[in-house]
Structures are given as C-alpha cells and as structure tokens.
Amino acid sequence: MTARRIAFLGIGLMGARQAARLLAAGHAVRVWNRTAEKTEPLVALGATAFADAGDAVEDAEVVITMLAKGATVAEVLFGGDVADRIPAGAVVVDMSSIAPAEARAHAARLAARGVHHLDAPVSGGTKGAAEGTLAIMAGGDPAVFEAVRPVLEAMGRPTLVGPAGAGQVAKLANQMIVAVTIGAVAEALVLAERAGADPAAVRDALRGGFAESRILDLHGARMIAQDFVPGGRTSLQIKDLENALATAAESGAPSPFSGLALELFRDTFAAFGDVDHAGLWLTLHEPKQ
C-alpha cells in the first residue's frame, strides 16, 4: 500500500476513530477540528494538527470531511478559502451524512476547481469506526473511487453504489432501516418486560433466528443495560430521517414506517435530550401520561 497525504477535517466521535485507523495504516494524516483539543490524542498517534483547515488541506492528496450536516460541510469547504487551497487533482471524500442534493452540489463546485469528489457516508457507529469495519457507501466517478479505495479500506468496506449523491441515498436507506429496527427492538423488549419475560433472555433467545440483527445485538444490549451514552446521537438520527423523508417525497417513494420513527425520535430528543439513538427505548418504556 502506498502511503497518502490525507487531511481529515472533523474530529468527532467517528472522525477521531477513523483518523486513527488511517494512521495505523501508515498514512500521513493532518487533522483539523473547530475544538482543537479533540485533535490531541491523534497527535500523540503521529498526526499533525492544524488550527486552520486551509493549512491542513494544502498539498493533500485526499481530503476527508466528517462533519455534522450539509450546511457545515459547505461552510468548511466553501465558506473560506479551503476549497481553493485543495490541490487540483486531489480527491475530497465527504463521509458526512448529508442530503443527496447537497452532495451533488458540492461535487459540482469542486469539479469547477479541478478537484474530484466522492460522497461516502458510513454505517457501523463508533465501534465500527474503531475496528475499521464501517460500511462505506460511495457515490461518484468509478475511476476516482478506485484511486482512493485503499484509503477507504483502512476504515471499512467501501462499495460504489452510483454517481454523485448515490452514496447519500444509500446512507438514507440505511438510516431508515436502522431507525425502524431500533423502534422494533425497543418495542419488543418493552413487551417482554411488561408481559413477564426476562428481556435479556428474550434477546438471547432471538439471536440466530430471523429477528437477529446488529441492532438487536448492539442496541438491544444498550437498552437492557439502559446505557444511552451517545454513540449515534438522537439529533443525528432525526437529521438523517428528515433528509430521508424529503428525498422519499421528491422521489415518490412511500415511507410510512420512517415517518412514525421520526416522530418517536423527536419525542425522545424532547424528553431525554441528545442521548444515543437506542434511547428510543426510553420513550416506549416511559410514555408520556
């Protein structure tokens, strides 16, 4: 594997773990984050931290963004001089979860500067980021995808799913499945408790059957332990579902289950704050009177 010069913008719960995987793979990683202290553990691992995002991207072959929403990605890339300082021929890989239309707009703006773009959102949470097992859904030019495949493989399993914006469509589909399945698991475990069974034993009994899933495994365990320290935040689940429902409406695709899930996640956020999205269990377990 050839080491690449990589600028990583956005060192949050996911980005910190992804950047650490890139360092472990031998890449030269430059990091930037608005809260500079979050970059310190990566500096200890060999990364170079920059106070200015524009400085971080200069001379980079690959620029990875992992930010909260589309507006933030646009602000970081285009609100100042960052996009203008990315070398021509470099590849921007946006691993944030944003609307497909935003991803296509960013790709067009970068192309006008001679910079390539992939939208490559991920699924797998902080555990997958730490272990390098993320599902990476990429949209963009096949040649560009192949050029950065080794970089992506340091973080997980990349799959090209279509042209610009298609990666975000895949992520929205993923989030619809995740949201509805979290609701189903939470509902089932509350039923088990209220109907006199041991929820932990019920979860164990279901594993290996048709109800088995990563959600039942990981989030079911969180629900039983009542551990809702954020791994995947409720606020981000709400943002992704809002984007999914907007895209579904534009595409004429039905989305009744996702619509109900969005209502329940909004209730969870209002009542319990920005807990892990498995905290939907709280809304079902402790319904409003």
**CA distance linking residue 137 with residue 161, whole number of Å:** 6
Q: Is 146 exposed, middle or buried (0-12, 13-18, 19+ CB in 10 A)?
A: exposed
Residue (of 95, 78, 131, 106) closest to 15 by Cα position: 95
Q: Which residues are catalytic?
A: 171
Interaxial angle between packed helices 256-272 and 166-194, expressed in degrees from 0 to 180 and rounded to the nearest 10:
70
Residue owning tokens 């599902």: 135
Residue owning tokens 């608005």: 34
Instruction: List beta partners, residue 6.
Output: 29, 62
Q: Report the alpha-carbon angle 39-3-81, nearest 5.
A: 55
**CA distance linking residue 63 with residue 53, whole number of Å:** 10
The DSSP bridge pattern shows strands 116-119 and 122-123 to be: unpaired
**CA distance linking residue 165 with residue 161, whole number of Å:** 9
Structural contact between residues 66 and 10, judged by C-beta atoms closer than 8 angstroms: yes
- DSSP string for residues in 48-74: EE-SSHHHHHTT-SEEEE--SSHHHHH
